[in-house]
Protein backbone atom coordinates (compact mmCIF):
# COMPACT_ATOMS: atom_id res chain seq x y z
CA UNK A 1 0.00 0.00 0.00
CA UNK A 2 2.77 2.45 0.89
CA UNK A 3 4.55 1.74 -2.41
CA UNK A 4 1.31 2.21 -4.35
CA UNK A 5 0.90 5.57 -2.67
CA UNK A 6 4.44 6.47 -3.69
CA UNK A 7 3.62 5.54 -7.30
CA UNK A 8 0.77 8.07 -7.25
CA UNK A 9 2.99 10.68 -5.60
CA UNK A 10 5.84 10.31 -8.09
CA UNK A 11 3.45 10.26 -11.04
CA UNK A 12 2.05 13.59 -9.88
CA UNK A 13 5.59 14.95 -9.46
CA UNK A 14 6.57 13.67 -12.93
CA UNK A 15 9.39 11.45 -11.62
CA UNK A 16 9.17 8.42 -13.96
CA UNK A 17 12.31 6.69 -12.69
CA UNK A 18 11.01 6.75 -9.12
CA UNK A 19 7.67 5.39 -10.38
CA UNK A 20 9.47 2.55 -12.18
CA UNK A 21 11.57 1.76 -9.11
CA UNK A 22 8.39 1.53 -7.03
CA UNK A 23 6.83 -0.89 -9.53
CA UNK A 24 10.03 -2.94 -9.38
CA UNK A 25 9.90 -3.06 -5.57
CA UNK A 26 6.21 -4.01 -5.65
CA UNK A 27 6.98 -6.80 -8.14
CA UNK A 28 9.77 -8.12 -5.91
CA UNK A 29 7.40 -8.38 -2.94
CA UNK A 30 4.68 -10.00 -5.06
CA UNK A 31 7.11 -12.58 -6.42
CA UNK A 32 8.20 -13.45 -2.88
CA UNK A 33 4.50 -13.87 -2.00
CA UNK A 34 4.04 -16.11 -5.09
CA UNK A 35 1.71 -13.60 -6.75
CA UNK A 36 3.57 -14.26 -9.97
CA UNK A 37 1.08 -12.81 -12.46
CA UNK A 38 0.95 -9.45 -10.69
CA UNK A 39 4.71 -9.49 -10.22
CA UNK A 40 5.32 -9.88 -13.95
CA UNK A 41 2.79 -7.14 -14.73
CA UNK A 42 4.56 -4.67 -12.45
CA UNK A 43 7.99 -5.64 -13.76
CA UNK A 44 6.79 -4.93 -17.28
CA UNK A 45 5.35 -1.60 -16.14
CA UNK A 46 8.79 -0.72 -14.79
CA UNK A 47 10.45 -1.92 -18.00
CA UNK A 48 8.19 0.23 -20.20
CA UNK A 49 9.03 3.31 -18.15
CA UNK A 50 12.74 2.54 -18.33
CA UNK A 51 12.42 2.20 -22.12
CA UNK A 52 10.73 5.59 -22.43
CA UNK A 53 13.27 7.19 -20.11
CA UNK A 54 16.13 5.61 -22.03
CA UNK A 55 18.14 2.67 -20.73
CA UNK A 56 21.28 4.82 -20.62
CA UNK A 57 19.60 6.93 -17.94
CA UNK A 58 18.92 3.95 -15.65
CA UNK A 59 22.07 3.03 -13.65
CA UNK A 60 20.79 -0.43 -12.60
CA UNK A 61 19.09 -1.39 -15.88
CA UNK A 62 21.37 -4.38 -16.57
CA UNK A 63 20.82 -5.72 -13.05
CA UNK A 64 17.05 -5.27 -13.52
CA UNK A 65 17.05 -7.09 -16.88
CA UNK A 66 19.09 -9.90 -15.30
CA UNK A 67 16.61 -10.21 -12.42
CA UNK A 68 13.70 -10.33 -14.87
CA UNK A 69 15.47 -12.98 -16.93
CA UNK A 70 15.92 -15.23 -13.88
CA UNK A 71 12.20 -15.01 -13.15
CA UNK A 72 11.33 -15.94 -16.73
CA UNK A 73 13.87 -18.77 -16.61
CA UNK A 74 12.12 -20.11 -13.52
CA UNK A 75 8.91 -20.37 -15.57
CA UNK A 76 10.74 -21.83 -18.59
CA UNK A 77 10.03 -18.79 -20.78
CA UNK A 78 13.40 -19.14 -22.45
CA UNK A 79 12.68 -16.93 -25.45
CA UNK A 80 11.92 -14.02 -23.14
CA UNK A 81 15.18 -14.73 -21.29
CA UNK A 82 17.02 -14.50 -24.60
CA UNK A 83 15.31 -11.22 -25.50
CA UNK A 84 16.12 -9.65 -22.13
CA UNK A 85 19.72 -10.82 -22.08
CA UNK A 86 20.44 -9.61 -25.62
CA UNK A 87 19.26 -6.19 -24.49
CA UNK A 88 21.46 -6.39 -21.41
CA UNK A 89 24.71 -7.32 -23.15
CA UNK A 90 24.39 -4.31 -25.47
CA UNK A 91 24.45 -1.95 -22.48
CA UNK A 92 27.36 -0.87 -20.26
CA UNK A 93 28.00 -3.61 -17.71
CA UNK A 94 26.66 -3.32 -14.16
CA UNK A 95 29.47 -5.37 -12.60
CA UNK A 96 31.74 -8.30 -13.49
CA UNK A 97 29.58 -11.06 -12.03
CA UNK A 98 26.33 -9.94 -13.64
CA UNK A 99 28.11 -9.55 -16.99
CA UNK A 100 29.22 -13.19 -16.75
CA UNK A 101 25.74 -14.26 -15.64
CA UNK A 102 24.05 -12.53 -18.59
CA UNK A 103 26.09 -14.63 -21.03
CA UNK A 104 25.55 -17.74 -18.91
CA UNK A 105 21.80 -17.07 -18.93
CA UNK A 106 21.87 -16.73 -22.70
CA UNK A 107 23.74 -19.99 -23.11
CA UNK A 108 21.41 -21.90 -20.82
CA UNK A 109 18.29 -20.45 -22.47
CA UNK A 110 19.53 -21.39 -25.95
CA UNK A 111 20.36 -24.89 -24.71
CA UNK A 112 16.81 -25.31 -23.40
CA UNK A 113 15.34 -24.53 -26.83
CA UNK A 114 17.83 -26.93 -28.47
CA UNK A 115 19.84 -24.19 -30.23
CA UNK A 116 23.07 -25.76 -29.11
CA UNK A 117 25.53 -23.86 -31.33
CA UNK A 118 24.30 -20.58 -29.87
CA UNK A 119 24.32 -22.13 -26.40
CA UNK A 120 27.97 -23.17 -26.64
CA UNK A 121 28.91 -19.78 -28.14
CA UNK A 122 27.45 -17.78 -25.25
CA UNK A 123 28.64 -20.17 -22.56
CA UNK A 124 32.14 -19.88 -23.99
CA UNK A 125 31.74 -16.10 -23.76
CA UNK A 126 30.79 -16.54 -20.10
CA UNK A 127 33.89 -18.69 -19.56
CA UNK A 128 36.14 -16.15 -21.28
CA UNK A 129 34.78 -13.35 -19.09
CA UNK A 130 35.19 -15.49 -15.97
CA UNK A 131 38.81 -16.07 -16.96
CA UNK A 132 39.29 -12.34 -17.59
CA UNK A 133 37.85 -11.45 -14.18
CA UNK A 134 39.71 -14.35 -12.49
CA UNK A 135 36.58 -16.05 -11.20
CA UNK A 136 37.28 -19.77 -10.80
CA UNK A 137 33.76 -20.39 -9.56
CA UNK A 138 32.24 -19.04 -12.79
CA UNK A 139 34.84 -20.82 -14.92
CA UNK A 140 33.66 -24.00 -13.18
CA UNK A 141 29.98 -23.24 -13.73
CA UNK A 142 30.39 -22.30 -17.41
CA UNK A 143 32.52 -25.41 -18.04
CA UNK A 144 29.92 -27.63 -16.43
CA UNK A 145 27.13 -26.11 -18.51
CA UNK A 146 29.09 -26.59 -21.75
CA UNK A 147 29.95 -30.13 -20.75
CA UNK A 148 26.29 -30.94 -20.19
CA UNK A 149 25.43 -29.86 -23.74
CA UNK A 150 27.98 -32.30 -25.14
CA UNK A 151 26.90 -34.98 -22.66
CA UNK A 152 23.29 -34.68 -23.85
CA UNK A 153 24.55 -34.99 -27.43
CA UNK A 154 26.35 -38.19 -26.35
CA UNK A 155 29.68 -36.60 -27.27
CA UNK A 156 31.26 -37.92 -24.10
CA UNK A 157 34.89 -37.13 -24.92
CA UNK A 158 33.98 -33.47 -25.38
CA UNK A 159 31.83 -33.55 -22.27
CA UNK A 160 34.74 -35.00 -20.30
CA UNK A 161 37.08 -32.16 -21.30
CA UNK A 162 34.64 -29.56 -19.93
CA UNK A 163 33.65 -31.56 -16.86
CA UNK A 164 37.35 -31.90 -16.08
CA UNK A 165 37.60 -28.09 -16.06
CA UNK A 166 34.54 -27.93 -13.81
CA UNK A 167 36.32 -30.30 -11.42
CA UNK A 168 39.67 -28.48 -11.59
CA UNK A 169 38.16 -25.07 -10.90
CA UNK A 170 35.46 -26.31 -8.57
CA UNK A 171 37.20 -28.77 -6.25
CA UNK A 172 38.64 -26.08 -3.99
CA UNK A 173 35.57 -23.84 -3.96
CA UNK A 174 33.89 -22.99 -0.68
CA UNK A 175 30.57 -23.36 -2.50
CA UNK A 176 29.48 -26.94 -1.67
CA UNK A 177 27.15 -27.12 -4.67
CA UNK A 178 29.92 -26.42 -7.20
CA UNK A 179 32.21 -29.05 -5.64
CA UNK A 180 29.47 -31.64 -5.34
CA UNK A 181 28.29 -31.00 -8.91
CA UNK A 182 31.84 -31.49 -10.18
CA UNK A 183 32.02 -34.92 -8.52
CA UNK A 184 28.63 -35.98 -9.86
CA UNK A 185 29.41 -34.90 -13.42
CA UNK A 186 32.83 -36.56 -13.40
CA UNK A 187 31.34 -39.81 -12.14
CA UNK A 188 28.59 -39.88 -14.76
CA UNK A 189 30.90 -39.11 -17.69
CA UNK A 190 33.39 -41.77 -16.54
CA UNK A 191 30.53 -44.27 -16.50
CA UNK A 192 29.76 -43.38 -20.12
CA UNK A 193 33.45 -43.74 -20.99
CA UNK A 194 33.51 -47.19 -19.31
CA UNK A 195 36.01 -46.06 -16.70
CA UNK A 196 34.25 -47.80 -13.85
CA UNK A 197 37.05 -47.51 -11.28
CA UNK A 198 37.33 -43.74 -11.83
CA UNK A 199 33.56 -43.36 -11.72
CA UNK A 200 33.54 -45.17 -8.38
CA UNK A 201 36.25 -42.82 -7.07
CA UNK A 202 34.10 -39.77 -7.80
CA UNK A 203 30.95 -41.40 -6.48
CA UNK A 204 32.85 -41.92 -3.21
CA UNK A 205 33.71 -38.19 -3.24
CA UNK A 206 29.99 -37.45 -3.58
CA UNK A 207 29.26 -39.72 -0.64
CA UNK A 208 31.93 -38.09 1.55
CA UNK A 209 30.71 -34.58 0.61
CA UNK A 210 27.10 -35.41 1.43
CA UNK A 211 28.11 -36.77 4.82
CA UNK A 212 30.09 -33.59 5.51
CA UNK A 213 27.08 -31.49 4.58
Q: What is the pLDDT of residues 58-90, one digit of tens each?
A: 999 999 999 999 999 999 999 999 999 999 999
Q: What is the pLDDT of residues 147-186, one digit of tens each?
A: 999 999 999 999 999 999 999 998 887 778 999 999 999 9
Instruction: Count Cβ atoms within 10 A of the Cβ of residue 2 and give its class: 0-12 exposed, 13-18 middle, 19 or more buried.
Output: exposed
Choice between 156 and 208, residue whose per-residue pLDDT is larger: 156
Confidence (pTM)? 0.91
Tell me: pLDDT of 94 over 70.
yes
The secondary structure of residue 92, as a DSSP letter, is: P
- The alpha carbon of 67 is separated from its chain's Cα centroid by a whole number of angstroms, namely 9
* 178 in Cβ contact with 141 (< 8 Å): yes
CA distance 163 to 78: 24
Amino acid sequence: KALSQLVTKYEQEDEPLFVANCYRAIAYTQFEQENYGLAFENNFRALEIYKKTGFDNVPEIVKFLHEMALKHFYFKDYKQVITLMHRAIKLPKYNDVIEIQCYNNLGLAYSRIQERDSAVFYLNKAYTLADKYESNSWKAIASGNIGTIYYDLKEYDQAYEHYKKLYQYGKDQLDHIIRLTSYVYMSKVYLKLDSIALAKEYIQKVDISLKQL
